[in-house]
């Protein structure tokens, strides 16, 4: 079954630096979403990008989508210690029968050092 793969698995940066996480997937999609999970907490939705969009911004977040390469990237600019969390991409596969099923990647663990 389709599964997102994220790269890198872990990332450690200094506060103020930018963090880039990548996600690749296998089949055509309707949309791709990014979620954040703080340690011991539930996932929180960050941003959704549709298959006909190439780039989307939300505050310090920038998401790109390249459907020809079946990949997406999440850029967090001017990172803060509070951005320390795991980040997951999730895809809504085209032709999934409108079940609303999202397939999650394995996540990137980001540590931002103060």
Q: How far is the CB of 48 from other proteins (least distance, A)?
A: 6
Name residues whose C-beta falls within 8 Å of residue 99's C-beta, 6 or more positions apart in sequence: none
Nearer to other proteins, 15 or 30 (CB): 30
- 44 contacts 36 by C-beta, under 8 angstroms: yes
Angle at 3 between CA 84 and CA 110, to 5 degrees: 10
Nearer to other proteins, 5 or 15 (CB): 5
Name residues whose C-beta falls within 8 Å of residue 49's C-beta, 6 or more positions apart in sequence: 31, 32, 33, 55, 56, 63, 64, 65, 72
Angle at 75 between CA 86 and CA 84, to 5 degrees: 30
Nearer to other proteins, 88 or 112 (CB): 88
Q: How far is the CB of 96 from other proteins (least distance, A)?
A: 8
Q: How far is the CB of 16 from other proteins (least distance, A)?
A: 27
Nearer to other proteins, 35 or 72 (CB): 35
Q: How far is the CB of 13 from other proteins (least distance, A)?
A: 20
Binding site for other proteins (CB under 8 A): 30-31, 33, 35, 37, 40-45, 48, 86, 88, 90, 92, 96, 98-104, 106-107, 109
- How far apart CA 72 and CA 64 sit, in angstroms, is 5
């Amino acid at each position: 079954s389709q599964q997102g793969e994220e790269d890198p698995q872990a990332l450690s940066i200094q506060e103020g630096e930018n963090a880039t996480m990548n996600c690749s997937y296998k089949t055509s999609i309707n949309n791709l979403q990014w979620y954040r999970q703080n340690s011991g907490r539930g996932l929180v939705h960050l941003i959704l990008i549709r298959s006909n969009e190439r780039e989307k911004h939300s505050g310090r977040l920038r998401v790109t989508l390249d459907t020809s390469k079946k990949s997406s990237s999440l850029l967090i600019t001017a990172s803060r210690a509070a951005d320390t969390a795991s980040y997951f991409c999730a895809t809504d596969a085209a032709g999934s029968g409108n079940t609303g099923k999202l397939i999650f990647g394995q996540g990137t663990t980001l540590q931002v050092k103060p």
